[in-house]
Amino acid sequence: MRNHSRYQNDPLGRLAGTIQWLTVTTFASQESILREAARVRGMHGKVKGSYADAQGQTKQYDASDPHLLLWVHIAFMESFLRCHQTYSSTPIPGGADEYIRLWAKSVQPLGLNNAPQSEVEMEKAIAQFHEELVVNADTRDVLQWLHRPPLPATARLVYRLLYQAAYLTLPQRYQAMIAMKVWPRWIVVPGTRALLRFLRIAIGPENPIQDAAIERIKRSESNARKKWRNQRRAHWHLLQGLWVPSRHRCRRRLRCGSSTRARDATEQLTQFWAALRP
């Protein structure tokens, strides 16, 4: 992130890129999702370099590496899940396991096919990275920028509360590694919940992106039903007057000329007849 991201020079542009992927993956059609995934994979293909691991050894990295993709995926997913569990009173439809399963499905177009499918699997996957994580000078630079980004004075207080809220949801192990001064939980949690309620009221209940996705799904289902009815109607017209239960009558009706041809015609008609049944 520090070497390849434009988060310092263009933080809103960098954030917009992530939001675009999230929005398309959540609400868009399958065709749009695959197109967006191709864009992201193309960007990942350019992100290569070297870094010092937790033992101080130099290693090469590639953003398309499934191991690194897995870490980014579970860190992303776990952060959203823990924030929702901490600051929202609305239950997740299907629970945490369903949320994680859908997240796993969302990253398949990016080439990650071994993502966790449940909360237990997610915790196990995170534990596998414990020995690989390190806080070094590069980490401190990124954290310092995130702690004090170039924001207007009026937005700084709100941002600092959200920053503390996000930090509070980190596992204790990682908070100890970062060792950052934190606000009391009794201030952060109620304050964040109140702020989020205010923002929800200010934004309003309407979600045009979600509404558009629902309308697209309805049109797709309607078109699928029409296609199914047309197929049944076409099959019925094709079979009407031709279907007979025996090769003898089929031979006589179709003038097949031979028992073999009559048998073949009967088998084909049987298959068509089966297609008509629900």
pLDDT of residue 102: 92
pLDDT of residue 275: 59
**In the block, which residue shows the tokens 């997610």?**
122
Angle, in degrees to the nearest 10, between helices 66-87 and 153-168: 100
Tokens of 47: 């992100």
**In the block, which residue shows the tokens 């989020």?**
196
Return d(Cα 196, Cα 199) in angstroms, integer. Answer: 5
Contact 177, 136 (CB under 8 A): no
Residue 254: enclosing H or E segment and its boundaries? helix 247-254
pLDDT of residue 122: 96
Contact 119, 104 (CB under 8 A): no
pLDDT of residue 7: 57
Other beta carbons less than 10 A from residue 263's beta carbon: 14
pLDDT of residue 101: 95
Contact 86, 168 (CB under 8 A): yes
pLDDT of residue 258: 54
Contact 69, 109 (CB under 8 A): no
Contact 27, 102 (CB under 8 A): no
Measured torsion, CA atoms of residues 228, 232, 237, 241, in degrees rounded to the nearest 10: 170
pTM of the model: 0.70
pLDDT of residue 97: 96
- The torsion angles phi and psi of 50, rounded to 5 degrees, stand at -135, 160
pLDDT of residue 205: 75
pLDDT of residue 244: 43
Q: What is the pLDDT along the chain (278 residues), one digit of tens a residue?
A: 555 565 566 666 667 777 788 878 877 778 888 888 888 888 877 778 777 777 777 878 787 888 889 998 999 899 999 999 999 988 999 999 999 999 999 899 988 999 999 999 999 999 999 888 888 888 888 888 888 888 888 888 899 999 999 999 999 999 999 998 889 999 999 999 999 999 888 877 776 666 666 676 666 666 666 666 666 555 555 545 444 444 444 444 455 555 565 566 666 656 655 555 54
Return d(Cα 264, Cα 256) in angstroms, integer. Answer: 10
Return d(Cα 56, Cα 61) in angstroms, integer. Answer: 15
- The torsion angles phi and psi of 58, rounded to 5 degrees, stand at -80, 130
Return d(Cα 181, Cα 264) in angstroms, integer. Answer: 81
pLDDT of residue 247: 44
Tokens of 22: 């999230």
Sign of CA dihedral 71, 72, 78, 79: positive
* Buried b / exposed e along 154-180 (16+ C-beta atoms within 10 A): eeeeeeebbbbbbbbbbeeeeeeeeee
Q: Which of 114, 173, 135, 149 is nearest to 15 (CA)?
A: 149
pLDDT of residue 226: 66
